[in-house]
């Protein structure tokens, strides 16, 4: 058990279509500035989906040590950059902490897809001897965790979870577990970068990507015109510390509750699990629904899925009973990085006392009885946020985050929201 | 935390040379090797042309036509192993409360075969970078995200609790069991279906290990090519397969009168933060994982009765873990039998860790240590008792299984006879 058992997020590194760096991201989110545009990493004109959220201005050769660039896929490049940014933000010098008390737990959705496409092309065009030595360490799902661990000398219990878009929350939940068991610091979160021709083609197979060509209208969760989602790249890396190691009041927020569940198979008459998962996360946090000030929804923008999520939220909080927002309409869905970025955005919302809006969605679909925050940011001083995520195939996760000012001197989270900012 | 430990009540195996738990144990104790020239593709253009392949007929194993079409080979292995494990456990599924059933499945490389086969078609054998999406199969996304493997297992057992795919490279299969045990200890789940699967045998896998000369080029003598701890070893031999365990809280298993193979008494993992593929010869981080796992199991190093080694058959691994055993176990390292089943069934990347835990559980049941096959020439740097060639009857209460993998991950699990 860690000294306090309470996990505080003390550092955030965002690398997303909304920008490189937490400030750029937060300003874009408040302003509703979209990061979605025509795919530039390859010519998308032959594909039915041509829009995506790409990270603007990231040049791996400039942002990372030269030797790491050819050894790793873009997904890992983005994570290495974000991990360094998060550690800097947390003001942590890993060399000053016990090596086995630092761990890395990341989410991966599809590994080094672009790297793998290049190497398979070499294999089939030229032959086996043309496949490079780094394929063995760049493509596999553990590459990011391994490289962060090596770069920062973190020798504690590392992990990698793959639960598609739910992975970011599952990584944070696991990071909290590791912190409670034995670690003092865990680098967690996730990224994804599957915007290569093979990666996009694989995503098309779900039939859930939007083919709308107007970037402002392509990804509209909970809207009457919801038409599927837009893919994106990037994500967020967080630094979690045990509260005992953090001065009172410092940090972005506390990981107060977490739960994960899995849907019954298609065709089952059993109810889906998002509602129960949300309730379990609230129970884990010692929260009543009325304590929650904002919900960051999964927002798939597939009508039946939107309806299912809206119903789960309404069943717990009452129709329109809690402000709901989906800032990821600016970035698209980032898969392994997606819910990590949602958690980062929620933590920024808690620190700044502002609920960021959902850009794009304007007319709620019938049955989606939500208080969806649209237009301007809502300055409602939220103290407790819930983040929901669903991963392809039935994964459902929920995370409860609480503002740090609610912590008492021992670093334990208080359950109420009595204290004013 | 409730503090109730996880016990193994069911085991299912798909292994090279042995589909099923009992054939697997029979193969191991006979010291038979399942390594051979690769048959699943033409290996003639590769440096290493050998592997431990599973002779697997998915229809004979009970899968339907749609399952066979939908599932990558790794998913097929996982589902078939799961069915055997659940039947072996005697558990009634779906459970009364499916929300208390969890899945923790490991895999290092997910649906490699499906991804590569579909890539060939979409790119027309590498001709087009802008692959032709109109040739995409409906299940292509399921191949791209390894979480699909956990989805298939979750559907098989009607799990509605936490479901995860654990992917820490070659320690995935140990880590997934460690994670599963943790879910039981903390009270999140009553039943965890935990294990790992990998089906990496494909041209891209062979090419990438050729490129770093990690795999054995002993193409003329495939049956004897996997030679952990032998002075003439020359790399690991790729394998494939799956093992799935049913884990339950000890009190619940006891209450329903379940047969308990073993208790997962302790688990720990560490990273070397040194190199993605390289290992320092001192074994320091693996030793730290072993020490921590033993501490959690409340066992002294002197209590260890058997060590199931990572034993991949690369010189750096064999030295690394031999050093780790000496560091952690002290004098006991010289007196305890240490063996590597990779000598018989090859190295199936993420799956092997679960296959090795399954072997440990079966060793506890039989009180027999499986041997290290092909160990005929002693290596001066590896001076422990590696149980060469022949299985050995041996009294065991506490066994240790270790894993080591790309990314620098080092893991250790301690299994004890349930109730000891």
CA distance A250 to A62: 32
Q: Does residue A236 belong to any structural domain of this protein?
A: yes
Find tokens 């599809």 and name the residue. A110
Same domain, A215 and A302: no
Contact state of A158 with B133 under an 8 Å Cβ cutoff: no
3-state secondary structure chain B: CCCCCEEEEEEEEEECCEECHHHHHHHHHHCCCCEEECCCCCCCCCCCCEEECCCCCCCCCCCCHHHHHHCCHHHHHHHHHHHHHHHHHCCCCCCCCHHHEEEEEECCCCCHHHHHHHHHHHCCCCCCCCCCHHHCCCCHHHHHCCHHHHHHHHHHHCCCCCEEEECCHHHHHHHHHHHHHHHHHCCCCCEEEEEEEECCCCHHHHHHHHHCCCECCCCCCHHHCCCCCECCCCCECEECEEEEEEEEEHHHHHHCCCCCCEEEEEEEEEECCCCCCCCCCCCHHHHHHHHHHHHHCCCCHHHCCEEECCCCCCHHHHHHHHHHHHHHHCCHHHHCCEECCHHHHCECCCCHHHHHHHHHHHHHHHCEECCECCCCCECCCCCCCCCECCCEECCCCEEEEEEEECCCEEEEEEEECCCC
For residue A148, the distance in angstroms to the closest alpha carbon of chain B comes to 8
Percentage of chain A exceeding pLDDT 90: 94
Same domain, A77 and A203: yes
Give the model's confidence band at A3: pLDDT under 50 very low, under 70 low, under 90 confident, else very high.
Answer: confident
Contact state of A262 with B161 under an 8 Å Cβ cutoff: yes
pLDDT the model gives residue B420: 52
Partners of B144 on chain A (C-beta within 8 Å) are 110, 113, 194, 199, 202-203
CA distance B307 to B402: 8
pLDDT at residue A419 greater than cutoff 70: no
* Parent domain of A265: 256-406
| A65-82 average pLDDT score | 97
CB B194 within 8 A of CB B178: no
Q: Report yes or no: B388 at the A interface, CB cutoff 8 Å.
A: no
Return the half-sphere exposure (C-beta side, CA atoms, 13 A cut-off) of residue B105. 34
Give the model's confidence band at A122: pLDDT under 50 very low, under 70 low, under 90 confident, else very high.
Answer: very high
Mean pLDDT of chain B: 97
pLDDT the model gives residue A43: 98
Contact state of A120 with B123 under an 8 Å Cβ cutoff: yes
Same domain, A228 and A325: no
Of A121, A160, A261, the CB nearest to B129: A121
Choose between B64 and A407: higher pLDDT: B64
> Is the N-terminal amide bond of B68 cis, ω within 30° of 0?
no
Same domain, A231 and A260: no
CB B177 within 8 A of CB B267: yes
Q: Tell the CATH superfamily of the B6-255 domain.
A: Thiolase/Chalcone synthase (3.40.47.10)
pLDDT tens-digit readout, A363-386: 999 999 999 999 999 999 999 999
pLDDT at residue A412 greater than cutoff 90: no
Residue of A nearest to B179 (CA): A174
pLDDT the model gives residue A308: 98
Q: Report yes or no: A31 at the B interface, CB cutoff 8 Å.
A: no
For residue B79, the distance in angstroms to the closest alpha carbon of chain A comes to 15
Same domain, A204 and A277: no
Same domain, A347 and A374: yes
| A309-335 average pLDDT score | 98
Of A141, A164, A394, the CB nearest to B110: A141
State whether the Cα torsion A37-A41-A43-A49 is positive or negative.
Answer: negative
**Strand, coil or helix: A387:** strand
pLDDT at residue B419 greater than cutoff 90: no
Task: Choose, out of B93, B108, B163, the residue to mutate when testing the contact with A (most A CBs < 10 Å).
Answer: B163
pLDDT at residue A407 greater than cutoff 50: no
CB A79 within 8 A of CB A235: yes
B419: closest CA among B299, B199, B263?
B263
Cα-based angle A146, A150, A152 (whole degrees, multiple of 5): 120
Residue of B nearest to A203 (CA): B141
Question: pTM for the complete prediction?
Answer: 0.97
Contact state of A125 with B126 under an 8 Å Cβ cutoff: yes
pLDDT tens-digit readout, B195-215: 999 999 999 999 999 999 999
Q: Does residue A419 belong to any structural domain of this protein?
A: no
Query: Which among A245, A264, A290 is the end of a domain?
Result: A245
Contact state of A265 with B143 under an 8 Å Cβ cutoff: no
Task: Choose, out of B162, B172, B284, B347, the residue to mutate when testing the contact with A (most A CBs < 10 Å).
Answer: B162
pLDDT the model gives residue B359: 98
pLDDT tens-digit readout, A281-307: 999 999 999 999 999 999 999 999 999
Domain at B265-416: CATH code? 3.40.47.10
**Domains identified in chain A, total number:** 2
Partners of B158 on chain A (C-beta within 8 Å) are 264-265
| B44-61 average pLDDT score | 98
Q: Does residue A418 belong to any structural domain of this protein?
A: no
Contact state of B144 with A99 under an 8 Å Cβ cutoff: no
Q: Does residue A251 belong to any structural domain of this protein?
A: no
Same fold, B6-255 and B265-416: yes
Q: Does residue A327 belong to any structural domain of this protein?
A: yes
Strand order through the sheet with B238-239 = B35-37, B50-52, B238-239
Q: Report yes or no: A341 at the B interface, CB cutoff 8 Å.
A: no
Same domain, A180 and A62: yes
Q: A 178-237 residues with CB below 8 A of B?
A: 182, 194, 197-206
pLDDT at residue A421 greater than cutoff 60: no
- How far from the centroid of its chain's Cα atoms is residue B406's Cα? 14
Of A109, A120, A122, the CB nearest to B116: A120
The ipTM, to two decimals, is 0.97
- List the catalytic residues of B: 170, 310, 347
Say which DSSP state A365 is in.
P
Same domain, A220 and A307: no
pLDDT the model gives residue A2: 61
Contact state of B406 with A136 under an 8 Å Cβ cutoff: yes
For residue B140, the distance in angstroms to the closest alpha carbon of chain A comes to 5
Query: Which among A211, A245, A279 is the end of a domain?
Result: A245
For residue B207, the distance in angstroms to the closest alpha carbon of chain A comes to 5
Same domain, A365 and A217: no
Give the model's confidence band at A413: pLDDT under 50 very low, under 70 low, under 90 confident, else very high.
Answer: very low
pLDDT tens-digit readout, A15-38: 999 999 999 999 999 999 999 999
Structure-block tokens of residue A93: 């010098």
Q: Does residue A414 belong to any structural domain of this protein?
A: no
Of A43, A167, A261, the CB nearest to B99: A261
Same domain, A213 and A151: yes
Say which DSSP state A271 is in.
P
CA distance A157 to A329: 34
Query: Which among A245, A277, A302 is the end of a domain?
Result: A245
A201: closest CA among B218, B135, B172, B11?
B135
Domain boundaries, chain B: 6-255, 265-416
Q: Does residue A364 belong to any structural domain of this protein?
A: yes
Same domain, A224 and A297: no
Residue B55 neighbours by CB distance under 10 Å = 10
Percentage of chain B exceeding pLDDT 90: 98
pLDDT the model gives residue A4: 82
Contact state of B147 with A395 under an 8 Å Cβ cutoff: yes
Chain A with chain B: Cβ pairs closer than 8 A: 260
Residue of B nearest to A110 (CA): B145
Partners of B183 on chain A (C-beta within 8 Å) are none
Partners of A100 on chain B (C-beta within 8 Å) are 270, 288
| B77-84 average pLDDT score | 98
Q: B 74-93 residues with CB below 8 A of A?
A: none
CATH number of residue A54's parent domain:
3.40.47.10
Same domain, A296 and A198: no
């Amino acid at each position: 058990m860690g000294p306090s058992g309470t996990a505080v997020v003390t550092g955030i590194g965002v690398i997303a279509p909304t920008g490189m760096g937490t400030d750029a991201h937060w300003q874009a989110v408040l302003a509703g500035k979209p990061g979605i545009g025509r795919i530039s990493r390859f010519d998308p004109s032959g594909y039915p989906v041509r829009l995506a959220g790409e990270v603007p201005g990231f040049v791996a050769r400039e942002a990372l040590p030269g030797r790491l660039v050819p050894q790793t896929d873009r997904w890992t490049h983005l994570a290495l950059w974000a991990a360094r940014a998060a550690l800097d933000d947390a003001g942590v010098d890993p060399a000053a902490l016990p090596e086995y008390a630092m761990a890395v737990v990341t989410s991966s959705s599809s590994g080094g897809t672009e790297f793998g496409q290049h190497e398979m092309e070499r294999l089939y065009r030229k032959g086996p001897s043309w496949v490079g030595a780094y394929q063995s360490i760049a493509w596999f799902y553990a590459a990011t965790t391994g490289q962060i661990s090596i770069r920062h000398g973190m020798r504690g219990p590392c992990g990698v979870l793959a639960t598609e878009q739910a992975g970011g929350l599952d990584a944070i939940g696991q990071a909290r577990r590791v912190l409670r068991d034995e670690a003092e610091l865990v680098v967690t979160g996730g990224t994804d970068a599957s915007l290569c021709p093979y990666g996009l083609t694989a995503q098309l197979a779900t039939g859930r990507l939007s083919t709308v060509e107007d970037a402002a209208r392509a990804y509209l969760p909970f809207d009457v015109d919801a038409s599927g989602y837009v893919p994106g790249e990037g994500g967020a890396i967080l630094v979690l510390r045990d509260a005992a190691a953090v001065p009172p009041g410092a940090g972005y927020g506390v990981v107060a509750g977490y739960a994960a569940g899995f849907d019954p198979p298609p065709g089952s008459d059993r109810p889906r699990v998002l509602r129960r998962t949300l309730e379990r996360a609230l129970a884990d946090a010692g929260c009543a629904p009325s304590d929650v000030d904002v919900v960051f929804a999964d927002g798939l923008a597939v009508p039946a899925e939107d309806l299912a999520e809206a119903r789960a939220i309404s069943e717990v909080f009452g129709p329109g009973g809690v402000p709901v927002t989906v800032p990821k309409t600016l970035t698209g869905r980032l898969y392994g990085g997606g819910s990590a970025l949602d958690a980062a955005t929620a933590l920024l919302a808690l620190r700044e006392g502002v609920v960021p809006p959902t850009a794009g969605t304007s007319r709620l679909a019938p049955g989606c009885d939500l208080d969806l925050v649209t237009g301007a940011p809502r300055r409602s001083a939220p103290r407790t946020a819930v983040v929901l995520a669903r991963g392809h195939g039935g994964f459902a996760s929920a995370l409860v985050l609480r503002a740090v000012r609610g912590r008492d001197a021992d670093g334990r989270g208080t359950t109420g929201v009595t204290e004013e900012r | 935390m409730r503090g109730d430990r996880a016990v193994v009540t069911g085991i299912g195996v798909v292994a090279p040379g042995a589909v099923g738990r009992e054939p697997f144990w029979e193969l191991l104790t006979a010291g038979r090797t399942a390594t051979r020239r690769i048959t699943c593709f033409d290996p003639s253009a590769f440096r290493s042309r050998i592997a431990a392949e599973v002779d697997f007929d998915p229809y004979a194993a009970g899968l339907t036509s749609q399952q066979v079409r939908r599932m990558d080979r790794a998913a097929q292995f996982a589902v078939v192993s799961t069915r055997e494990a659940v039947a072996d456990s005697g558990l009634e599924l779906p459970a009364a409360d499916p929300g208390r059933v969890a899945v923790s499945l490991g895999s290092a490389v997910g649906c490699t075969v499906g991804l590569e086969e579909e890539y060939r078609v979409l790119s027309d054998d590498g001709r087009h970078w802008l692959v032709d999406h109109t040739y995409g199969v409906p299940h292509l996304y399921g191949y791209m995200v390894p979480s699909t493997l956990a989805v298939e297992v979750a559907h098989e057992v009607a799990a509605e609790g936490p479901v995860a795919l654990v992917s820490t490279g070659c320690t995935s299969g140990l880590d997934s069991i460690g994670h599963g045990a943790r879910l039981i200890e903390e009270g999140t789940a009553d039943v965890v279906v935990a294990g790992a699967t990998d089906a990496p045998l494909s041209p891209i896998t062979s090419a990438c290990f050729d490129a770093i000369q990690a795999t054995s080029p002993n193409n003329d003598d495939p049956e004897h090519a996997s030679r952990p701890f032998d002075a003439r070893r020359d790399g690991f031999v790729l394998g494939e397969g799956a093992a799935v365990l049913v884990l339950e809280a000890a009190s619940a298993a006891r209450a329903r009168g379940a047969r308990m193979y073993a208790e997962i008494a302790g688990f720990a993992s560490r990273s070397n933060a040194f190199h993605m593929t390289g290992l320092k010869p001192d074994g320091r981080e693996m030793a730290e994982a072993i020490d921590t796992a033993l501490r959690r199991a409340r066992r002294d190093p002197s209590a260890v009765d058997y060590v199931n080694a990572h034993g991949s058959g690369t010189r750096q691994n064999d030295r690394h873990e031999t050093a780790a055993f000496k560091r952690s176990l002290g004098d006991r390292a010289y007196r305890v039998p240490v063996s590597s089943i990779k000598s018989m069934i090859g190295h199936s990347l993420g799956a092997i860790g679960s296959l090795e835990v399954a072997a440990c559980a079966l060793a506890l049941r039989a009180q027999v240590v499986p041997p290290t096959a092909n160990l005929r020439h002693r290596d001066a740097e590896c001076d422990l008792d590696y149980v060469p060639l022949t299985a050995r009857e041996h009294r065991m209460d506490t066994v240790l299984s270790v894993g080591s993998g790309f990314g620098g991950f080092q893991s250790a699990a301690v299994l004890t006879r349930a109730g000891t």
